[in-house]
Amino acid sequence: VVLNELMDKLVAPSLPGNERMMIQAELRVLLNNQTEILNRLTSAYTSYLRSLGDFDFARQQLFGQSEKFANFLDKRLLWVPSSNPIGLNFITGLYQASLWLLSPHHWFGLIKDLGYSARENLFFAIVALMSIVILRMLKVWAKTELSATTEKIDKIYTDSFNLTIKALVCTFILASQMPLLFFYASLFLTLPGNISEFGNAIGTGLGAAAIPYLLIQFFYKLFRPQGIAHKHFLWREQTVKQVSQELRWVRYIAVPCFFLIAVGTPLPFSTISDHLGRLAHIIVMVSLALFLGRLLKPNNGLLTHLILENKNGWLTRLRIFWYPGIVVTPLIIAGFAIAGYYLSALELQHKLIVTLRLIMANLLLHELVMRWLTLANRQLALKNARQKRKTAAAQISKPAGGSSDDPIIPIDEQLLDIPKINAQTKTLLSVFIGFSLIVGIWMIWRDILPAFSFMDNIVLWQHLQIIDSQETFQPVTLTNLLLAGLYVFMVIVAVKNFSGLMELLIFRQISAEAGTRYAVNQLAKYGLVAIGFIIIANELGGSWSQVQWLVAALSLGLGFGLQEIFANLVSGIIILFERPIRVGDTVTIGDISGKVSRIQMRATTLTDWDQKELIVPNKTFITGQMINWTLTDQITRVVIPVGIAYGTDIEMAYKVMIETVKSTPRVLTEPEPNVLMVGFGASSLDFSIRIFVSDLSGRLAATHDLHMRLNKAFKDHNIEIPFPQRDIHIKTAPPGALNSPVIEQNLPSPADACINNGSST
């Protein structure tokens, strides 16, 4: 069929029959050859795919074996000696290494190598020279700015957090000049064009010493007298002086030792590293132990004031453990080097130095946050002072004998609780610093502490999980349980201290009412709890497929037995969003009146005028009738009825009442008060005095004050407030009627015949 199609498509019908037969025969041969080649190609592809499968299987086997071998090395390589223990031969090798290092021939060659590298890399040499010159010029500027910032932070109205950042930048500039020279020298000596072993070794040593030199010099200047630690971070002068003294001598030992340790690294022979480098390693570890021992001494060290202030704290009680442990750790590492485990000692030294850098970085971060917190607290204190001044100004017009029946101040007028906010922020900061230290130390030491991997092998239970559309059982190990416990702790701390952090980070910068702040904080806490629950459940093997039946059961229960609780929960969320009531509002529900002190998920707490706390379900506020006296405006009206005797001059009485009302301090002039005659009573002419007061706390005080003033004004103008009057008519009985037995039974007693009750007869 294919042959016929090709003949019809490619061969012209006009050709003679014999030629068409010849072409057809050739095409048949070609098609047969093509079929054979395709069959061979298919076989080759099949073989190739089989080879790829075998290769992939072998590669996976190789990766598995490499991982097992790596784990084996991680567990045992640290305890494999790399050198001979220090003995008499060590002195001979040290002498030869010193001759090599101090050889004048090598140093003259080093100068030539440095000049040659600079000529070969002229552009980089010019950039390095310009950067050094610029840094030298910036050094003068940094000294001037550092002095200026020190003067500004001593004044409250010129102090700011930006000054601390500027001071840190200036300190870094002052500390980076010599380390930058080390870095450039190392860069030019270790370029690929440099073939001198001595120059390459010296360049490697300078590069390894540059970063420790920069960090030690930076912290030395940070703790100098009248420096950042003393002026900005408010460290004690004695503490700053002690740290500065310790850093002064340790930098002259640590930097040369780091240089000597790294010098022998690129050399093909180990004499320099095993002898000169090992001696430098031992010296730097002993110096570090001495430095930490003198700096952290419990009696007169860096932590002495913390120990004295918290005599029952864990820092004080465990000092017999942590202090010897800190001092002995560098000595143990030095002992490793002495015993011949030099490579293991170098690895441990590197981990220890990185750990110290992590601690110092967290210390610097802690002090920066505390500095910012101090300035933020100062702003909050100024805000409180302005609020006090505003409250005092608002009460100037109130008399000294005002009513104390309403002791509750609306929350929008209350002062911020600075100590509570400060404590919450410090707690969050401590937790964050502690968590970062734990995670950082674990990341640093995890590759040489494989023994802790046993927790991954302790399976507590298994849970069903769908992976790639297949159901598999995944283990929940002891590590997952510990992480879940850590997440629980973090969620609890975050929920308890979130409001203080929000007050400092957000609400301090914007104008927000207390009700808004409370609603945002509550909703954020609910969100944190929900997120924490999801993370913890996921860590312990929970998933939607496993809890959906529980959700369905809860939904059914909410629809029947728990509908009231669910209604209250939803009503609480509606209250936080819609805000028909706010914390600090004064409300009346039925015969209950009080101030809203807390709005929670299920119920709202009211504090009445007797300081009793009333728990009202949230559903009552949403579905029932409620009076909110302070929702949009705290101005309320007070109606006072007054009655005067018949025959009084009405116009004079009106004039006296309106003048008395307007002269009362607590009565607002806008809206304007008024006095209205509302009717003719049985015993008096009835008037209604209608006044407005600025807040609920002034209602009783204004009523009391106005009653006192009206009574005095009526006495001064002889205006009588009448008593209720009753008329009694006495009829005389006919003679002899009193002797009638029927009348005697109906005669009232003498007490019943006198109807007084405050009336006139």
48: Cα separation from own chain's centroid = 58
Give, as one character, the DSSP assignment of residue 503.
I
Q: Residue 246 in contact with residue 295, Cβ under 8 Å?
A: yes
Q: Note the pLDDT of residue 451.
A: 46
Q: Is the pLDDT of residue 349 over 50?
A: yes
Lowest mean pLDDT: which of 52-66, 93-107, 317-331, 483-497? Answer: 483-497
Q: Note the pLDDT of residue 216.
A: 93
Query: Tokens standing for 530?
Result: 């929900």
Inside any domain, residue 587: no
Residue 204: pLDDT band by 50, 70, 90 thresholds? confident
Inside any domain, residue 531: yes
Determine phi and psi for 616, rounding to 5 degrees. -115, 125
63 and 122 share one domain: no
Better-scored residue on pLDDT, 592 or 351: 351
CA atoms within 13 A on the CB side of 645: 10
Q: How many domains does the chain have?
A: 4
656 and 527 share one domain: no
Q: Note the pLDDT of residue 408.
A: 39
96 and 35 share one domain: no
Neighbours of 680 (CB within 10 A): 9
Q: Choose the final residue of a domain: 228, 251, 274.
A: 274
Please state, in angstroms and rounded to a whole number, the distance separating the CA atoms of residues 756 and 723. Answer: 12
Q: Residue 147 in contact with residue 163, Cβ under 8 Å?
A: no
Report how far apart, in Å, the C-alpha atoms of 50 and of each of 19, 53, 227 are: 46, 5, 72
73 and 96 share one domain: no
**Stated pTM of the model:** 0.56
Burial track 46-61 (b if 16+ CB lie within 10 A, e otherwise) = eeeeeeeeeeeeeeee
- The residue among 143, 151, 165 whose CA lies nearest residue 231 is 151
Q: Note the pLDDT of residue 231.
A: 85
- Percent of the chain whose predicted confidence (pLDDT) is above 90: 11
Please state, in angstroms and rounded to a whole number, the distance separating the CA atoms of residues 420 and 414. Answer: 14
DSSP run (H or E) holding 354: helix 342-394
Q: Is the pLDDT of residue 302 over 70?
A: yes
Q: Choose the final residue of a domain: 475, 507, 542.
A: 542
373 and 505 share one domain: yes
Inside any domain, residue 624: no
Q: Is the pLDDT of residue 266 over 80?
A: no
352 and 446 share one domain: yes
Determine phi and psi for 154, rounding to 5 degrees. -75, -10
147 and 267 share one domain: yes
Residue-averaged pLDDT of the chain: 78
137 and 260 share one domain: yes
Q: Residue 341 in contact with residue 82, Cβ under 8 Å?
A: yes
Residues β-bridged to residue 643: 686
Residue 125: domain span:
91-274
What lies within 8 Å, CB to CB, of 570 at 6+ separation is none
Q: Is the pLDDT of residue 41 over 90?
A: yes
Q: Note the pLDDT of residue 757.
A: 38
Q: Residue 131 in contact with residue 180, Cβ under 8 Å?
A: yes
Written as one string, the DSSP assignment of 586-632 is EEEETTEEEEEEEE-SSEEEEE-TTS-EEEEEHHHHHHS--EETTSS
Kind of pairing between the strands at 674-680 and 685-693:
antiparallel
Q: Note the pLDDT of residue 407.
A: 39
Q: Is the pLDDT of residue 498 over 60?
A: yes
Q: Note the pLDDT of residue 73.
A: 64
620: Cα separation from own chain's centroid = 36
Q: Note the pLDDT of residue 409.
A: 40
97 and 73 share one domain: no
Neighbours of 315 (CB within 10 A): 14
Inside any domain, residue 372: yes
Inside any domain, residue 403: no
Q: What burial class does residue 698 get, using C-beta atoms within 10 Å of its C-beta: 0-12 exposed, 13-18 middle, 19+ buried?
A: buried
Inside any domain, residue 308: no
71 and 187 share one domain: no
Q: Is the pLDDT of residue 645 over 80?
A: yes
105 and 73 share one domain: no
Q: Choose the final residue of a domain: 500, 521, 542.
A: 542
Please state, in angstroms and rounded to a whole number, the distance separating the CA atoms of residues 541 and 547. Answer: 11
Instruction: Check the CA dihedral 677-681-684-690 and report its sign.
Output: negative
CATH number where 693 lies: 3.30.70.100
56 and 162 share one domain: no
Instruction: Choose the most confident range, by mean pLDDT, from 236-250, 363-377, 469-483.
Output: 236-250
Inside any domain, residue 549: no
Inside any domain, residue 728: no
Q: Once rounded to an integer, what is the mean pLDDT over residues 357-385? A: 80
Report how far apart, in Å, the C-alpha atoms of 362 and of each of 9, 130, 429, 438, 524 are: 82, 34, 11, 11, 27
- The residue among 537, 532, 546, 502 whose CA lies nearest residue 520 is 502
